A = this chain, B = another copy of it.
Amino acid sequence: MSTGNRADEDRIARAAISLAIEPGDWRALGLTRELGPQQFLDVLRHQPEARPEFGAAAARLAETDAERVLERSASRGIRFVVPGDDEWPRQLDDLARAGVLHERGGVPVGLWARGPLRLDTVGESVAVVGARSSTTDGDQIGSDLSASIGAAGRPVISGAAFGIDYAAHRGALSADAPTVAVIACGVDRAYPVAHRQLLAHLAERHAVISEAPPGSAPFRIRFLARNRLIAGLSRGTLVVEAAIRSGALNTASWAERLNRVVMATPGLVSSAASEGTHQLIRRGSATLVTSAAEVLELVGVAGQDLAPEPRAPDRPRDRLSVRARQVLDAVPVATPVPADSIARVAGLGVEDVRRLLSGMAEADLVERLPTGWRLTAEGRG
């Protein structure tokens, strides 16, 4: 044990726990919060028989040298950020009250991190996640929205997986915006291998983080534990395409449990890659979004970030007076009728109507034929 100050000892104790337990072991994480890391280590070291559920962790602990792992990690550019550090992303503390899903939950004892981006600067970030087997449309949307979210000053969090995750990081990078990959294996490993270059770039310029210590392999339970961090780090989670079994739905569940904003983009009714997102929207778990402005409104400050309502372009009829519009509404679309018929339908005098019709004919909204008046294509619009 080091003779360093209390903060150092705390970090070493937390590193030892991180090396001994699986990410998201909610019982161990809960006890660490309750007792403090030193006291929880004491339980593992000296009273393993009192807590048989920690048998495997106690066995692993005996084999680890946390201080050495911290030193070796530091020499490779990997830091271990823990609660109490200035850099600690305090929004993760909400995980203490977010319950358990798939036996995973709790505030991580610390985060292993590579890259210059400070983790305390991503509190206003948006998570963009989705199907690994995404469609071309989904990739485009994920990338476009992430670029705009990034351009609006919000970091983009994702998981570096194939499909939408990749599109999300790429979109943020295209806008020169900060982006964080939260991965399930150690930050010194590349999974999927095909994204080695992406992960290296993020570790060089942005941040790659993991709850699992360096060297850890990507197991399924680690992905489930990882998803809660993606949801927990960000103000809101946007799901762009997700099949029914998609891990992105697990991330959305975490965001919902954390009372963070959950958003989803729609897709074709027939698209299997949108079945999960449609289910989220249908159930009311996610709000449908189709633009970055809508995303920013939902994660933003009321009164500051209101998205413009989608509007069709102004039509000539919008610029008419109330009376002129009344007349226009009474002009038939197909067979022409005389002005007096139009006057009757509009409930106005025939002289007024003749005058207004002439004006609208000049604006190309109505046309006069031998048998009367009718709308032009412009007037029907």
Name A's B-contacting residues (CB within 8 A): 22, 53, 55-56, 59-60, 137, 141, 191, 193, 217-221, 243-245, 265-270, 274-275, 278-279, 281-282, 287-291, 294, 309-312, 315, 328-335, 337, 343-348, 375
Query: Which of B270, B331, B335 is A137 in contact with, Cβ under 8 Å?
Result: B270
A344 in contact with B281 given A265-B269, A266-B267, A269-B266 (CB within 8 Å): no
Say how far A117's CB is from chain B's closest CB, in angstroms. 27
Q: Are B332 and A218 interface neighbours, CB within 8 A?
A: yes
- Tell me which residues across on chain B come within 8 A of A243, comparing CB atoms: 312
Closest chain B residue to A375 by CB distance? B220
Query: Which of B22, B278, B334 is A217 in contact with, Cβ under 8 Å?
Result: B334
- Tell me which residues across on chain B come within 8 A of A269, comparing CB atoms: 137, 141, 265-267, 290-291
Q: Are B56 and A219 interface neighbours, CB within 8 A?
A: no
Query: Which of B59, B266, B291, B328 is A288 in contact with, Cβ under 8 Å?
Result: B266
Q: Are A329 and B55 interface neighbours, CB within 8 A?
A: no
Closest chain B residue to A224 by CB distance? B329
Closest chain B residue to A328 by CB distance? B220
- Tell me which residues across on chain B come within 8 A of A337, comparing CB atoms: 217
Query: Which of B221, B265, B290, B312 is A345 in contact with, Cβ under 8 Å?
Result: B221
CA–CA, A345 to B375, complex, Å? 74
**28 A–B pairs (Cβ distance < 8 Å), ordered by A:** A22-B345, A22-B347, A55-B347, A56-B343, A56-B348, A137-B268, A141-B269, A191-B333, A217-B332, A217-B333, A217-B335, A218-B333, A219-B329, A219-B330, A219-B331, A219-B333, A219-B345, A220-B329, A220-B330, A220-B331, A221-B329, A221-B345, A244-B312, A245-B312, A266-B278, A266-B288, A278-B288, A279-B309
CA–CA, A322 to B330, complex, Å? 71
- Tell me which residues across on chain B come within 8 A of A282, comparing CB atoms: 287-290, 294
Q: Are B275 and A310 interface neighbours, CB within 8 A?
A: yes
Known contacts A220-B333, A288-B288; can you find 19 more A-B pairs with CB under 8 A? A137-B269, A141-B269, A191-B334, A217-B332, A217-B333, A218-B332, A219-B333, A220-B329, A220-B330, A220-B331, A220-B375, A221-B329, A245-B312, A265-B269, A266-B281, A275-B310, A278-B288, A278-B290, A279-B310
Closest chain B residue to A380 by CB distance? B220
Q: Are B221 and A330 interface neighbours, CB within 8 A?
A: yes
- Tell me which residues across on chain B come within 8 A of A332, comparing CB atoms: 217-219
Say how far A24's CB is from chain B's closest CB, in angstroms. 12
Q: Are B267 and A268 interface neighbours, CB within 8 A?
A: yes
Say how far A179's CB is from chain B's closest CB, in angstroms. 21
- Tell me which residues across on chain B come within 8 A of A60, comparing CB atoms: 344
- Tell me which residues across on chain B come within 8 A of A329, comparing CB atoms: 219-221
For the complex of A and B, the 3 pairs showing the least CB-CB separation, nearest first, are A266-B266, A217-B332, A56-B347
CA–CA, A287 to B284, complex, Å? 9
Say how far A271's CB is from chain B's closest CB, in angstroms. 9
- Tell me which residues across on chain B come within 8 A of A345, comparing CB atoms: 22, 56, 219, 221
Say how far A58's CB is from chain B's closest CB, in angstroms. 11
- Tell me which residues across on chain B come within 8 A of A268, comparing CB atoms: 137, 266-268
A344 in contact with B288 given A221-B330, A266-B281 (CB within 8 Å): no
Interface centre among A267, A279, A330, A347, by most B CB within 10 Å? A347
Say how far A307's CB is from chain B's closest CB, in angstroms. 10
CA–CA, A288 to B277, complex, Å? 11
